[in-house]
Amino acid sequence: MWNPYEPLSARTTRVLGVSAVLFVLLAWTVLSASGWISQNKLPSPWRVVKAFSYLAWDSVNQRSLLWDATLWSVGRVLAAGLLVIAIGIPIGVLMGASPRVNSALSPLVDPFRSAPVVALLPIMVMWFGIGEWMKVLFLFFGAVVFLIPMVRDAVRAVPQAYWISARDLGASPFEAVWHAVLPLAMPRIADAVIVGISVMWTYITVAEYVNAGEGLGQLISNARRFSAMDQVFAGIIVIIAFALLSYQLMHFIKARLYPWETKL
């Protein structure tokens, strides 16, 4: 039992995981059926499933709230994700490649890792209004403050021997970074992107809190306003599912791009 290195079979892993989930579902069902907690506070799993199916297809209005909301949220995460990759990675690489750049930028970047990003929302609203830009920039900001230090550390984690060896073979300092350090940092830079995108899913509800007509976050805050706890639960589960799905997808892509990584 207490052997951290014990190899588990796929079956054991699955059985343990599924039974834990089943146990929670069972406890949830019992708890909500017992009547100790009102259905408004803790809807039963069945009601959440019904809410989910209503959100998935509203037969009265002939539309899928969930589909529309998901498209909007995914779109915002993608837009912010592209911004994070296009702006965050170059900044992190520059900081990692040059201690001078790092000394200059790190006081501007690092403190925000522990800053209450959510508290910045009112400022973002003041600066960028309540439109689409504000939401995307909020997501961007929340993720990029994590991504930049991770990218920097990824570059710095490459052993100096690679840089020295490339220099010895005739590379200019920049070439040594470009041809010897950066390629080796790529898997960990990909990890930084994965963390950045995952962080965005946790901020999506906040981003869509202000003046969103659509989106999963808006769907949840709307449902809460009408005390539709079952819909709140369904919305949260959908967000978690998408966060997990994108996480798995990104890991799959990363493994394809850098098959040599684990063997470094």
Binding window for other proteins (CB under 8 A); candidates: 19-27, 31-39, 188-196, 253-261:
253-261
Minimum CB separation from other proteins for residue 109, in Å?
23
Q: What single letter denotes the amino acid at residue 239?
A: I
Minimum CB separation from other proteins for residue 197, in Å?
23
> According to the binding rule CB under 8 A, does residue 264 interact with other proteins?
yes
Binding to other proteins, residues 147-176 (CB under 8 A)? 159, 161-162, 164-172, 175
The answer to whether residues 130 and 147 touch, using CB atoms and an 8 Å cutoff, is no
Minimum CB separation from other proteins for residue 155, in Å?
15
> According to the binding rule CB under 8 A, does residue 90 interact with other proteins?
no
Closest CA to 70 of 202, 179, 204, 180: 204
> According to the binding rule CB under 8 A, does residue 263 interact with other proteins?
yes
- Cα 56 from Cα 67, distance rounded (Å): 7
- What track of x and - describes contact with other proteins for positions 181 through 200 (by CB under 8 A)? --xx-x--------------
For 53, the enclosing helix (H) or strand (E) is: helix 45-56
Closest CA to 138 of 80, 221, 92: 80
Number of residues that bind other proteins (CB under 8 A): 23
The tokens of 132 are what?
């689409």
- Cα 164 from Cα 162, distance rounded (Å): 6
Q: Which residues are at the interface with other proteins (CB under 8 A)?
A: 159, 161-162, 164-172, 175, 179-180, 183-184, 186, 258, 260-261, 263-264
